[in-house]
Amino acid sequence: MHSPELLKGTLQTIVLKVLKDHGKMYGYEITQRVKELSDDRILLTEGALYPTLHKLEAEGLLKTEIVNIGKRVRKYYNLTTPGKAEARERVTEFVDFIRTMGNVLQVELS
């Protein structure tokens, strides 16, 4: 697990990009996908994830769809059109940030 401080500020970017790459997903699924993609290094906590999903939805970047699986409820999230644009921007912004940090820290980012 990574030093958690570095993760701060990246959650929305992660959620938007993962949804962009994988399409319709529900909360728990997102945590598992990120765990998998990060090789168990990024473990999203529910206390952070759900408020973030709700916030992105309130901003119109995500839309939801509730599906019943037996007696259990799943809430699927997907990007809206503005959400897709936002995902692109966030990733670009992140990459730019990393380049800048590479200069400041004088490191090569393979």
**Residue 9 interacts with DNA (CB under 7 A)?**
yes
Which one of 69-77, 78-86, 89-97, 100-108 is the stretch in contact with DNA (CB under 7 A)?
69-77
Question: 10-39: which residues touch DNA (CB under 7 A)?
Answer: 10-12, 26-29, 32
- Return the bridge partners of 64, or none: 77
Rounded Cα distance between 79 and 56, Å, is 9
The partner in contact with residue 93, picked from DNA, a copy of itself, none with C-beta cut-offs of 5 to 8 angstroms by kind, is a copy of itself
Q: Which option in DNA, a copy of itself, none does residue 46 bind, with CB closer than 5 to 8 A by kind?
A: DNA
Q: What's at 62, amino acid-wise?
A: L
